[in-house]
Structure 1
Amino acid sequence: MNKTFSQQDEANKPANNWQLKILMLCWEYPPNIVGGLSRHVAGLSAELAGLGHEVHVLTAGTDQLPEFENMSGVHVHRVQPINNRDEHFFSWIGGLNLAMAFKAERLSEEITFDLLHAHDWLVGAAAIVLKDTLGVPLLTTIHATEHGRNNGIYNEMQQFIHEKEQQLISESDQIIVCSEYMKDELLSIFKETSVNLAVIPNGIELVEPKQAFNEIFPELKNEKYIFSLGRIVKEKGFETIIEAAAIAKDEGLDYRFIIAGKGPMLETYRQHISTRQLESHVHFIGFITDEQRNVLIQESELAVIPSLYEPFGIVALETMTFGKPTIVSNTGGMKGIVKHLQTGLLMVPGDARSLLEQINFLHNNPKKAQEIGEMGRQIVKSLYGWKRIASETSRVMEDLLLSERINKSEEEGQGKQIIRK
């Protein structure tokens, strides 16, 4: 069977005979990084391009970034929201979706896309419109839900986002989630249960720091520290680290925590540190580059990811890939990545005492800590490389398109039978 859906030159076909033209929608894309979503889409799109697919990413632009560039074989198209200066986020997102839809229609005049791949509700309005306009199936990856982030829906803003998620899921022909935990979450909180659901984990790029630690963080030379990172929001559980540091201080334990990331709770947490006189024990260092992140992980004693809600846990993979023993909350997708005392350690979410117990264990058992770190590194390398993730995603795309073809053939056949009658 010829599995090429777009008309391509024979010389350009990949070895597996597939070559799809994919339009991917995501509100953030490197170097415009807000959270983990941008890195996920960048890693996936680059590897899909490496498999021979033609990948076009449509994303938000800034005045400092070009409207188009080819990044690692990916065609990146950036648009400015129609109401770019609007400070109201929902209005800004609405303007972004309008700009995305207009740009995609212009692209479709020159490119015949095979399918759409949307990432989360933020691009849902454009994805739903384009599904009909372009006449192609819609694949959606749901990375997190508003219900999960807040452990429920409590106000109008959360209800608005929840309804947008529901609409996108209902209109999608195929859904991808990153963990069995997320699959169960979607099935339990959304009314739509007939949509096809595939579980494909996030991927991680295995990298080595290019700069020496002393060049980037000379003030930390010869210092032992415990590292954590993530978007500085309540659901990431950094309050647990602050509480653990306070207990450790009272008990005379010499633990130092370095926490990297930006977000709306950053100044609040810094104030907590000052009020509790923990400046020598906890440091929120704000935004860091990928290179800074890598050297901080590499030189750390161990890592802690204390999330209260975590659909997958890409930051845990980032620390584990460096062979660092990693403590994660026993929740969400992370409990599917880490096996306690084998590839990492599990703590009770939000429990500072539980966190300290795991830290003490690793501190008092350095040989075991090294073994756990190495086992974690091996599991990440074998299961979460982007090539494997992209191959699984490609198969889902191929199955979706084959299913669409079969359905259309059956519908056309039924139509002919009706005409004959």
Structure 2
Amino acid sequence: MNNRQSKSNNPERKRQADWKLKLLILSWEFPPNIVGGLSRHVVGLSTHLSEQGHEVHVLTAGKNNLPSFEVINGINVHRVRPVNEYDDHFLSWIAGLNLAMAFKAEQLAEEIDFDLIHAHDWLVGTAAISLKELLGVPLLTTIHATEHGRNNGIYNEMQQFIHEKEQQLMIESHQIIVCSEFMKEDLNQFFTLQNKNITVIPNGIEPLIVNQKISQVFPELADKKFIFSIGRIVEEKGFETIIEAAAIAKEKKLNFIFVIAGKGPMLTEYQNQVKGRGLEGYVSFIGYVTDDQRNALIEGCELAVIPSLYEPFGIVVLESMILGKPTVVSDTGGMKGIIKHLQTGMLMVPGNPQSLLEQIDFLINQPDKAKEIGSRGKRIVHSLYGWNRIAAETSRIMEDTVLQQRVNEKEQEAEPNK
């Protein structure tokens, strides 16, 4: 099926600026199947690449009664069921998903002459690598996070397996994109990349619309002063720091409550900790919320807190900032590249509840300064993190990657004639 070479002998056949690429994007999650921030990134990027004229096909995992194919905002969404979709072992499930993805992509390629494959994280790496060879097109990979970063090291066989899959995918990729300088440093430190090209392109965000007031969605919070946090409920998001800060707030009889939204494997554990320590009046894990509920919670809060211990970028930071809320984040990862302390937000020491409370105290007791910080943060997000800009930067990298591949092919074909 590899007919790419015969069609690609003239890389100058179009001016690069006029290219409308046919893109095959691989992502294990895509709305409404949302596990973390990766799916929101893929839908935002795909939508705007489509608006810029590219033909976008997203290949992702099917779930429940979702259609196997539909067009969403100009994106051709193809959903497949893993070969062994009911396997409880995650790595087996992922292997089955990659088999199904590769088979479906091969079928699509019979009708569509793809120019580039764009893979998102190791979870689709096996399919991406095999399709690169099968279709004869370049592979671009975005690394959103690493197993080493999530666990602050590699400690068991499963983590080692994932780490090696990440390494393999990056080695096989023609180009790598990461969302922050922090992630670029991470890759260069913990992987052998053989001088791979790594480009930093941040995550993007759409303007958020607040359709409901907090009194409509959470009336119990309407008359309370609350501090909002949201994220996947896992250890690296640092929510234990909030629990410890809540215990100090209780001792000092401070007049606010922490409200934490999100789902994840640690949710029940954290809820039990709150109950066991008698902190119900100071911290509440409310579980999953819709986008409308999230927007209402951001608008209704005094300020937002993102206390992650590991955060390659932190799109939830942009969500609170774009609504003009002063935001406290851990001085780590990609977040410290978004926030400038006392200007566009506040930085806290990661894992330090006392540091968190100091930032909260400053913002609550200096409302004019807090409002100024929130307004300045909102302007920065609008100017630097809009999806139009992010998609345009990504499109340029895609075009450069395709062009370079075709130039290399032409040089190789001419080699025997020298």
Q: Distance in 2 between matches of 1:355 and 1:63?
A: 41
Given the alignment of the two structures, is residue 185 of structure 1 paired with residue 173 of structure 2, yes or no? no
Name the CA shift for 1:415/1:6 in 2 (closer, same or farther; >3 Å): closer
The structure showing larger relative contact order (alpha-carbon pairs under 8 Å, at least 6 residues apart) is 2
Post-superposition offset of 1:217: 1.4
Q: Distance in 1 between matches of 2:374 and 2:77?
A: 36
- Conserved? CA contact 1:225–1:256, under 8 Å: yes
Q: Distance in 1 between matches of 2:21 and 2:162?
A: 31
Post-superposition offset of 1:14: 12
SS of equivalent to 1:340: coil
- Conserved? CA contact 2:180–2:202, under 8 Å: yes
Counterpart of 1:205 in structure 2 is 206
1:245-293 superposed Cα distances (whole Å, 9 cap, x missing partner): 1001101211200000000000000011011100011000001111111
Post-superposition offset of 1:212: 3.3
Counterpart of 1:369 in structure 2 is 370
The letter of the residue matching 1:271 is N
Counterpart of 1:140 in structure 2 is 141
SS of equivalent to 2:56: strand
SS of equivalent to 1:107: helix
Post-superposition offset of 1:34: 0.5
TM-score, structure 2 length as denominator?
0.96
Counterpart of 1:31 in structure 2 is 32
The letter of the residue matching 1:125 is T
Post-superposition offset of 1:336: 0.3
TM-score, structure 1 length as denominator?
0.95
Counterpart of 1:386 in structure 2 is 387
1:325-382 superposed Cα distances (whole Å, 9 cap, x missing partner): 0000000000000000000000000000000000000011000000000000000000
1:152-185 superposed Cα distances (whole Å, 9 cap, x missing partner): 1011111010000000001000000000010000
The letter of the residue matching 2:160 is Q
Counterpart of 2:11 in structure 1 is none
Post-superposition offset of 1:216: 1.5
- Conserved? CA contact 1:6–1:112, under 8 Å: no
Given the alignment of the two structures, is residue 313 of structure 1 paired with residue 314 of structure 2, yes or no? yes
Counterpart of 1:85 in structure 2 is 86
- Conserved? CA contact 1:6–1:19, under 8 Å: no
- Conserved? CA contact 2:178–2:202, under 8 Å: yes
The letter of the residue matching 1:371 is E
Counterpart of 1:111 in structure 2 is 112
Q: Distance in 2 between matches of 1:158 and 1:52?
A: 39
The letter of the residue matching 2:128 is A
Q: Where does structure 2 lack aligned partners over 5 or more consecutive residues?
A: 1-5, 9-13
- Conserved? CA contact 1:348–1:355, under 8 Å: yes
SS of equivalent to 2:18: coil
Aligned residues: 408
Q: Distance in 2 between matches of 1:409 and 1:324?
A: 53
Name the CA shift for 1:215/1:15 in 2 (closer, same or farther; >3 Å): farther
SS of equivalent to 1:113: coil
1:110-259 equivalent positions in 2, closer than 5 A: 110-259=111-260
Post-superposition offset of 1:414: 1.1
Counterpart of 1:57 in structure 2 is 58
Q: Distance in 1 between matches of 2:417 and 2:7?
A: 26
The letter of the residue matching 1:195 is K
SS of equivalent to 2:409: helix
Question: What percentage of aligned pairs have identical amino acids?
Answer: 66
Given the alignment of the two structures, is residue 279 of structure 1 paired with residue 280 of structure 2, yes or no? yes
1:330-369 equivalent positions in 2, closer than 5 A: 330-369=331-370
- Conserved? CA contact 2:326–2:345, under 8 Å: yes
- Conserved? CA contact 1:202–1:389, under 8 Å: yes
The letter of the residue matching 1:78 is R
Q: Distance in 2 between matches of 1:324 and 1:340?
A: 14
SS of equivalent to 1:214: helix
- Conserved? CA contact 1:14–1:51, under 8 Å: no
Name the CA shift for 1:50/1:69 in 2 (closer, same or farther; >3 Å): same
Deviates more, 1:348-357 or 1:404-413: 404-413
Name the CA shift for 1:129/1:15 in 2 (closer, same or farther; >3 Å): closer
Q: Distance in 1 between matches of 2:406 and 2:417?
A: 17
Name the CA shift for 1:217/1:85 in 2 (closer, same or farther; >3 Å): same
1:296-307 equivalent positions in 2, closer than 5 A: 296-307=297-308
The letter of the residue matching 1:232 is I
Counterpart of 1:268 in structure 2 is 269
1:55-105 superposed Cα distances (whole Å, 9 cap, x missing partner): 000000013100001000000000000101111111111000000000000
Name the CA shift for 1:247/1:115 in 2 (closer, same or farther; >3 Å): same
The letter of the residue matching 1:342 is Q
The letter of the residue matching 1:260 is A
Name the CA shift for 1:361/1:143 in 2 (closer, same or farther; >3 Å): same
Q: Where does structure 1 lack aligned partners over 5 or more consecutive residues?
A: 8-12
- Conserved? CA contact 1:23–1:115, under 8 Å: yes
Given the alignment of the two structures, is residue 323 of structure 1 paired with residue 324 of structure 2, yes or no? yes
1:112-156 superposed Cα distances (whole Å, 9 cap, x missing partner): 000000000000000000000111000000000000111110111
